[in-house]
Amino acid sequence: MRFVHVEDFVHPNAGYQINLLTKIQAAQGHEVIIITGELDKIPVFLTSFFGKDNIEKHDENFRIKTGVKIIRHPLYAYYSGRAIFKPGLHALIKKQKPDVLFIHNEDTVTGMKLLWDYKNMNIPYVLDCHMLEMASENRFRDYFRLFYRKFVTPVILKNNIPLIRVVDTDFVEKHYAIPLSKTELLQFGTDTQFYSPNPEAKREFRNLNNIGDNDFVVLYAGKLDAAKGGKFLADTLKDKFSLKDRKIVFIVIGNPPKDEYGDAVKQIFEQSKNRILFYPTQTYFDLAQYYQAADIAIFPKQCSMSYMEVQSCGLPVILEKNEINIDRASSNKGLIFEEGNVEQFRECIEKFGNMPEDSFKKYQNNARENIIKNHDFLPIANKFTDIMINEYHKFQEIKSMTNK
């Protein structure tokens, strides 16, 4: 079948859900196309991590590696987390003659306009929702939710358009009046074969970087901006850590933003009394070697999808306290610190560094088992595909009955 995915922002080197899902669907034998926005109008806080340069080359490399074609449509602007496409997006989608259109993030301007054009598009839709309460901070959110319930939700419910929740919350029911019974829960996942513990890779990386077998290696990979707590991380690593009977080494992967905040982050890191190995931003497929070399992974703020990859590599995690992370760290998979509390963050790192080996092994095993059991993306992707194929057949059946 021919699947077309539309999303406001896509970078082929990232590890977002759309990158992995489309790759798997292409491997299943489907023709897969991603339609997304040009990068020129995307704000720096999104593009600084992987950059905008040579995007055509990166898109083409993604097509060669995965079989997934990326088509970019011009934007007027990117405002309040939403892309405003120039005219012609709907015609571009129809030109691809998709069997199913997957609209990522049902509450974007793109998603809403496509929903209002549902009858004219004459294509079966599948939607997903990524929204969490803690991520919904716009001061006009109450007005937007009222607008959505009145003018968008009826389109979804009237046409029985499948909506997939990728996080286990009641957000769509609470704020958009879409009953959870009308949705499907398919949580994020990762490639558990590619991201897995590898003792040989661990030894090789440590030997190359003069890291001892008994050294305690703490990893952070991600943005170093305010949203991800770059300055908070630098402050946390500024003073010397002292473990009982082993050295501690930090690996920090990511580029500080090229602004005043980024300069402050770099200055604080330069004052650190700990050994820190810095690496620039890596592509999704280059990160495994770093995860496999580490002992734990830390997330100073807003735990990202890389949580899945590090846990799949058997790394316990340290996360800030919020509605999602408490569950992610439960059952001896990680530790929690109060948001913005440097001392608690440091105590969690030292607790893992001083933990007896048998106790630490339990955390490692629980981390890996959790991902294999709940977040192995291959069976999850198969369910996404099943929903899309089922919607195609349902749509064709309704069209056939209407034409009689």
**Mean pLDDT, the chain, whole residue set:** 93
Mean pLDDT value across residues 311-321: 96
pTM for this one?
Answer: 0.79
Q: Tell me how far apart the alpha carbons of residues 263 and 261 are, in angstroms, rounded to a whole number.
A: 5
Do 2-189+376-403 and 199-374 come out as alike in CATH topology? Answer: yes
Q: Select the more confidently predicted residue: 132 or 197.
A: 197
Domain layout of the chain by residue ranges: 2-189+376-403, 199-374
pLDDT at residue 159 tops 90: yes
- Dihedral of CA atoms 57, 9, 128, 26 in degrees, nearest 10, equals 0
pLDDT category at 89 given cuts 50, 70, 90 is very high
The CATH number fitting domain 2-189+376-403, selected from 3.40.50.720, 3.30.450.20, 3.30.70.2860, 3.40.50.2000: 3.40.50.2000
pLDDT at position 324: 82
Please state whether 94 falls in left (phi above 0), alpha (psi between -120 and 50) or beta.
alpha
- One DSSP character per residue, 235-304 reads HHTTSPP--SSS-EEEEEES---SSHHHHHHHHHHHT-SSEEEEE----GGGSHHHHHH-SEEEESSS--
Q: Which residues pair with 101 in a beta bridge?
A: 4, 125
pLDDT at position 404: 64
Quote the tokens at residue 67: 């079989």
Closest Cα to residue 171, out of 132, 127, 140? 132
pLDDT at position 208: 97
* 209 C-beta neighbours (distance < 10 Å), count: 13
pLDDT at residue 341 tops 60: yes
Q: How does pLDDT run across 23-52, given as a tens digit for each residue?
A: 999 999 999 999 999 998 887 767 766 778
Quote the tokens at residue 293: 């070399």
Q: How does pLDDT run across 236-272, given as a tens digit for each residue?
A: 999 999 899 999 999 999 989 889 999 999 999 999 9
- In CATH, the architecture of 199-374 is 3-Layer(aba) Sandwich (3.40)
